[in-house]
Structure formats: C-alpha cells, structure tokens
Structure 1
Amino acid sequence: MGTVDDLTLLVEIIEAGSLSAASRKTGISKSSLSRRIGDLESQLGVHLVHRGPRNFAPTEIGLSVYERSQKIREELVAIKALAEDRTNRPSGMLRISCPAVLSEILVTDFAIQFAETYPDVRLTLDNTKGTFDPKIDHYDLAIHPVREDLADSELICQKLAITPYRLVAAPDLMARMAACTSPADLEGLPGIGWGADGFMARWRLLGANVETTEINLKLKFSANNLNIIRQAALRGLGLARLPMPMCEADLLSGRLVQPLPGWSPPPVTFYALYPSRRSLTVAGKLFLTGLAKFLQDRLRSLDAPQQQVSAPAVEPKSQRASKRRGRRSTKR
C-alpha cells in the first residue's frame, strides 16, 4: 500500500497541474516526484496519472485516489494543528492565496515580517489575478476582497479589514472639463473600467452623509489589474476607482485629484477564507490575527486628515459664457 506521504504528494502534484509547478511548490525535484508517483502506481497496481510533455492529468482511478487522499491530508493537517496547540510553537507549511495587487500594496510587508518572526514556518504567498476560485483546498488561507456581500459557501470566512476607495482622475483631464459640483456633472465623462465592463458603466457613489447615487460613464479603457488602471488614470484616460492605499501618494502629490470630493465608490472588504472541514494550524491562526491588526492599523492611518489636491477649479460652462457676453457688452 502507498505511504501517506506519497498519497499527499499525489494531491500536491494534481493540484499544481504539472510536475514543474509541483516541484516549485514542494521543493522536490521533478525526477524525484516522478519516481515517487511511479512507485505509488506500482504499489497500487494502477495508473494514477496521464503523462505527456504538456499534459499531466489524473486517470479515472487516479481522480478517485486523489479525492480520498485529500481527506487524508486534511486529517494530517488537523492532527498537526492539535499537536501545535499543545506546544504553541508555529511550524510547517502555510499556503496563502492573495490577489497580486493586494499582496503588493498591503499583504507582502506583513507576510515577510511573519516569516522573519516564525522561522520554523514555511510560508508560500501565491499571487492570483483577483478572481476568486472557490476550490481552495490546496491553500490553507485565501485572502479575498469583495465589494458586495460575500456569497454563501461551505468555507469559513473571517473579516479582516475594510479599505476605502477613491474616485480619481488626472488633473489635466479635469482641467478640460466643466467644474463638477454634483455627481450629475460626472455623467458621460470617460471612465476606466474593471475587466470586461463593455463600453458603458454604471458606478455607484456614496456621499459624506451616507446618501447613494449612480453615474453613467463612457469607458475608454478597461483592465483586470489595478496597477494598469492606475497607470491609465495617471495618463488621463478617464475617471478611475482605486483603493486608497494605492492612490494615497498620487493624491498627496497632485498626480491624481478627486473630481468630486465628498463622493467615493463603495469600500471593499477583505476576507480570509479557509475550508470548514480543516482546522487551522497555530501558524494559520497567528497569521490571521496578525494580518487583521496590520491591515486595520494601516488603513486607519489613511483616515487621518491629510491635505490632498482636489480637481482644478474650473468655472461651469454657463458662468464662463455669461462672462464672455459681459465683456462684449462693455466693449460696445
């Protein structure tokens, strides 16, 4: 019968999708991984995976073994968590999934500090594109930002922090527009969308007194990466919605402005998700507690009063036209 280690290794390889990816994830060479799967197949007397130059997928029986082996791995994690709870010494593997931009602007600093503080923990921070994969069995924790309520699932969720968003634009763009005094003045302006929003977008804005309104924008550019959206906003392609940690320095320096101070997009909530049938290790619990405090402290500092540059003061078109008529009358 195959050893427990080889069965859990099969899970890692199938979830990684290839020997190369599994090698990077586990630190075991491709040749060793291939040999151990071959030994497991010999012991079980069945082929577990289809091997090809670009294809590595489980056979029908391999998929069944994989699903049962997942449960074995989960029990091992639970046993390790139980043992660690007795010793209170975090150790072992901790695998975190997090959107790339969120990782860059907020999570990476804490993750590095955590790894320095707990040298016995082997921490893997896997950056994703930002879309949520409900199949997170190959992660201990998944950090997931949502603007609306979190969808129901079998996953356990823990709220970490809430980050404010800002409606921003390049000052040159706003200088060419009439002065904006209400959300209605933003109607029809060029916008920078998220993902495949089409050519028109309807954005919700929240006022300082908790009032809500919506505006329609004509999208000139869309991307599924906040860094790209920020760059497009800096180049003056349109209005953009950006998390405060990402645009704070741009607002303070004047590279970006708020076209309508007092109105902002809804905030985004960060959640930590993990499978309900798996107990968190001591390392996982410490990471969650520490990350929540780190994010809350960081985001609280953004709420402190800071002098930001607002959109250039431009008179409404009606006032400019009235002044021109007045000058012509004086000349006569």
Structure 2
Amino acid sequence: MAKTVIIEAHGGPEVLKLTDREVGEPGPGQIRIRHHAVGLNFIDCYQRSGAYKMSLPHALGMEAAGVVEAVGEGVTHLKAGDRAAYAANPPGAYSEARVMPAATVCPLPDGISFEDAASVMLQGLTVNYLFRRTTPIAKGDTVLLHAAAGGVGLIGCQWAKSDRIRLIGTAGSDEKCRMAEDAGAEVCVNYRTEDFVARVKELTGDKGVPVVMDSVGKDTFDGSLQCLSPLGFMILFGAASGPVPPFDIQRLAAGGSLKLTRPTVFTHLADFDSCQTMAKELFDKMLSGDVKASIGQTFALEEVAEAHRALEARETTGSTILTL
C-alpha cells in the first residue's frame, strides 16, 4: 500500500484527498518506483480544477524522483535499486510509490539529489525543448522569456547563459527581476511598472527579437507578437493568465511573416530516445553547475492542498516540491 493523493471531483485545493492505494507489481514495459521527492506544477492545478479534464477518480502529479523497486519484462535501461527521475504521463506522482510506464523514467546520476531532480524534471525538460528542439537558436541570439523568475524561467535564464544566448526576461516585481538577472538574464523587465514592448525595442535597437518564449498567454500575447523581429518565432507554451482568444492569423503576415507554435513537453517525451537524451542533457547541465535547482518551497505530502493554494496565489518562487 502507498499513500496517494487523488481527486474524485474537479474543484479547488479542498478536493485533494490523501488515501491508501495498493501498488502491485509492474507488468511488461513498466517499473515500480518508490518516491523520495515530488515536483508540483501549474498543470497539476489545471487538472485538479477541471481546466484540463480527467477521468475520475484520478491520482495527480507529473514528476518525481526516487528508487526503482522492480522492473517488468522488456525494461532494460533500469533495474531494481537504480536512482531514477521522470516527468511523465499518466499523472500519479503525488504518492509514496507507484507502478508506471518505464520509457519516460530516466536514470538519475549520483551527483544529483532526489529533491533537486524532482524540482527540475518537467521544467528543465521544457527548457530543453524551448532552446534545443523548437527553432534553431545560436550563440549570440537574443530571446525574450516571460515569467523569468518562475521555475521554468530561472532554469531558462541559466541555460541561456551557459549557451551564450542573450536573454531578456520579464517578471512581476523588482525582486523577481533581480532573481532572473542573478540566474543569467542580461536584463529583466518589471512588466507591472514598465512597458515591456517598448523596453525590448529599446534593448534591441528597435529591431525586436527573433524568438519569444511565452508561458503567460492572454495577458502577454499581443505584446509578445509586437516584440518579434520579421520572420520571428513565437513559442506559446503555457497560459498562466488564461488562454489566448481567437485572433486573425493575418496578424502574423502584418508583423513580418511571423511564426507561431503551441508545443507541449510530452510530445517530445513520447519518443524513448528523445526523452532519455533530453534528460541526459539536463543532468549534464546540472552536474557541470550550469543549471542549479531553485527550490523555493517544500511541503509534506499531507500538505498538498496548502501547496496548491500557494502556487495558484503566485506566492511561490522557483520550484515547489513535496517530500516523503
């Protein structure tokens, strides 16, 4: 048996329920993993609230790190006793232990703690596909990254600095801007006190940037398009402020043959080789010191509702984890 957080109805943090569930043995292509730390992400809140519909009842949680207890037939990249981490579907990481598909679970080097791994898997692999797998970004290029002091943002600032990419960030306070700049942003704009479009134009000699990475959505979308240079690439990878309303696609032509994509990390992780390669690249960045985990908040598994409230109230910085 393992303590597991489930929802039986969509709603606020109060619907999160801690229960005991039987774990069982892994079948072909599966592993059983005992968690030491679990990461929290906005997608968990979307699934809990019903913004992303799920069949109910259902466990929650998309990323964790721990020790493999058993492997099923056909699993060759992991064995019992291995340290491992993952960001993966289906949800179920808010638990002491679980049986799950093995393909998206990755060997974890000894030099990375369970806590750090659990705090960076989903966000770090997201940063990987943003900088390595969506559109070519070369050393010396300039990118605009919104929410630069969040979990993805702080990793993105470090990643960009280590790859010698000029990063302009935005954040909602002077304190958060300092955090982004300390992490590697060349400059971070407080969008509550400054017009980020005007500031980006000023910083780029009125040229704009070739790439915008936007996880905020509705509140920043129009400004993000205005920040792009001709032939620029808009990567819309989240909607923290709400979904972008329908818009006239001719605006992309008027802006200078702009490009727009709405990717998800799980599309990239669905391929075994891609998933394992992305994780190795992330772990190499961490082992070299180029990327450091930033855990702002830690909660016990039993405090998961409180953790969700803090996340949704924007009271968190960096990553949030549950410990077991």
Q: Which has the higher relative contact order, 1 or 2, with Cα contacts under 8 A spaced 6 or more apart? A: 1
Q: Report the structure number with the largest CA radius of gyration.
A: 1
TM-score with structure 1 setting the length:
0.23
Higher helix share: 1
TM-score with structure 2 setting the length:
0.24
